[in-house]
Chains A and B, each alone.
Chain A
């Protein structure tokens, strides 16, 4: 197991190097440049040159790349050309919101998707199963932003159960030591603030988690159905195993193998989907900031963000592989 983790971490290095080169070239291949984007109609050749000199965009590409990587290794992600603030500071301000949202969406997707798929498999071919299959198909096909609007209209505008936008009710005075609002409320014992932040999270997280939820439910259903028909399940029944133990230890554990792979793959989807959801709910996360960065060709921000996503994605999948080893002893020897 230790060998697997080390191997994977070692593989991450060339992956990131390759990605950083591609990424670096990709953002520079976009039409226009940060200077023209920044200056807009005031973009005289002299002004553009001044900006380029200021940020080093006039230097050869190789030199620019090496400078960027050199800074990265020292923990410096560069400075945003749009706001003039160091990228890391911008991220520290906005990422907690996105992470909070993503984590809750994942919790909903896993926490609802697995039981739903399991129950559907147990009632295979009956009404409950068919309903689940149809609903999960809908979940996959309905676009995130559409579902987001729908949820907002129904639960916020019509019923008024949940707030419609933002991360916290504006009138609420709360302290934010970490930037994770729910966590902040718990740490500072401002229970009402934590509760308020959570209420703001529910609708965006539901919208964001819908697709992964549907996928996880479908995979769980298929996997449980397959395992239920396995020889060792029949043998387990023949040796007199009670239902609870049969379901928990034999069926569910074996059925979780493909599901855990799926969960790992969903993490990347969640992070990119968060951008859309945040826009609908005016949720002040990384989403709107990133959108602005794309329009302004804010090189440092784009590069830093995508690299960060890549690392998160790789680590999430490593976690999945490790969990695989925990579930399935056969993986440990390989």
Chain B
């Protein structure tokens, strides 16, 4: 090694005081960052990657401390430095670009002032000079119309613009090391790419070393020279990015690679085998409910009933307009069209995906399918009958047959309900069975989503993200729905868990004959789960067709741009 490392981490150990005693979040982590080099730290949530980054900055949560090892930055061991000495390094020598652009800017202060104060407090510039410099920094980070934007507040910025402001802030004092903690994971892929490009150009020009923290192996491999893989607080593998992808040594890295969705992956196929039908029948049993409503026999096996239409749901020329409140004393409200003349079908037993960036209207489509939002015009037909405006009984029946799974498994489960109560709730609400038969049904559902029975008495706070999403799926399946609307259902999960959930969804679809509407911004995930795909841009469907057609032979410029923006697209992410 010709150069001295700028940052050298050796046997780092970080512990947190909790009510259950001390827990070690990082143990024995060692790696170097050379001057001007980009090193990516990859791992799932809880792997200790962010904790390592915060330990470098000296910004661990109050109950956390570096309990062992050394963090040598430019010859000085930060683990032994005084708080004052560490504070002097922040901003000046070590900058940070945080993860969530929505929560990381001071909401009550103009964006420009937030950079000015950093320049002033670090002694880089003062007064008018600092303001002039701020505009330069914002322009440099790629913020258009920087002079005017500097006088605005964070809530007047989009997510991408905020992230640019945070980049300008992180680089304001020209630090030698920039810690970028998931800098773009909250942004759309196209925005993500332009921002990462800009960050790369800037740090390259300035010779800044970058410690890039990410959960996305593709992104890490694309952007970093070297990759550090962390798992449960330990560094399991370190190496040049290309080599690590080609020849992963550690079992965890291999699993991570195998789980990483990429455009090369194919639709998850569930092989039919004997004995499955029996299991499917078991799942579709009706506890204490012998009466079947005359018109609506649930399609548990999916294939048998041929009297019904081929499409479970048909969307025709649906639009949704929202009224925005006006500004100022006499300001008139304006109208925005969230969904504009959208038409598609979901053939029974298949998955139709709707993809698009934030603001494309895809979530509004999901809400209209769930009859939570009423279309301004157009019709949605479910099983041959129009959705919305029905009598109460028909609405209850519709709600039983169409179930949602939402994005955030942390927010969509009632924190005061046990797992058992959560899964049982829809059965109770629809007056299904008695306590005994409902319990049996909950056990069946738990088996179906592959969760152990001993979780039944636990609360959501005691579960992992993947377990929570399994509970949410079990709850959605409780009433034997025919259509499940998955609104970004796997977006909040780590790749390995994500892959497990996708396989579970595919398996359930096969066994229960479910139809899915799958809303996602992640095209690689869509490729794995969907049969048909609709690409939405600003409320309109710009392209639709089979997954293979759209992904392999995109017709529209917008679709091509979306596909090109996926990190790691050009890399060979093979499973080992």
Contacts and interface: CB of A to CB of B under 8 A. Distances in A.
Interface string A127-163: 0000000000000000000000000000000000000
B328 A245 contact: no
Given A234-B59, A239-B96, A254 B169 contact: no
Contact of A2 (B61, B90, B122, B329): B329
Nearest to B172: A239
Interface string A24-57: 0000000000000000000000000000000000
Contacts of A328: 107-108
B404 interface: no
Interface in A33-89: none
B58 to A, nearest CB: 9
Interface string A228-244: 01111011111111100
A13 interface: no
A57 to B, nearest CB: 46
Nearest to B89: A240
Interface stretch (B35-43, B98-106, B363-371): B98-106
A238 B96 contact: yes
A332 to B, nearest CB: 9
A253 interface: yes
A3 B155 contact: no
A238 B90 contact: yes
The residue in B98, B103, B104 that gathers the most chain A C-beta atoms within 10 A of its C-beta is B104
B95 interface: yes
B118 A254 contact: no
A22 interface: no
Interface SS of A by simple majority: helix
Nearest to A257: B108
Contacts of A231: 98, 100, 103-104
Contacts, number: 85
A231 B182 CA distance: 14
Interface size, A (range): 20 to 34
Interface in A216-267: 229-232, 234-242, 245, 249-250, 253-254
A170 interface: no
A250 B108 CA distance: 8
B90 A240 contact: yes
Contact of B108 (A235, A245, A253): A253
A321 to B, nearest CB: 16
Interface in B150-182: 153, 155, 166, 169-170, 172-173
Contacts of A329: 107-108, 153, 155
Nearest to A250: B106
A230 B95 contact: no
A89 to B, nearest CB: 40
A2 B327 CA distance: 11
Contacts of A230: 103
A240 B122 CA distance: 6
A6 B327 contact: no
B109 interface: yes
Contact of B153 (A6, A241, A249, A330): A330
A280 interface: no
A235 B121 contact: no
B48 interface: no
23 contacts: A229-B61, A231-B98, A232-B103, A232-B104, A232-B106, A235-B96, A238-B57, A238-B91, A238-B95, A238-B98, A238-B170, A239-B91, A239-B96, A239-B170, A245-B121, A249-B106, A253-B108, A254-B108, A328-B107, A328-B108, A329-B153, A330-B153, A334-B325
Given A234-B98, A235-B105, A237-B90, 5 more contacts: A231-B100, A235-B98, A238-B170, A240-B91, A241-B118
Shortest 9 CB-CB contacts between residues of A and residues of B: A240-B91, A238-B96, A231-B103, A239-B118, A329-B153, A240-B122, A3-B329, A242-B121, A235-B104
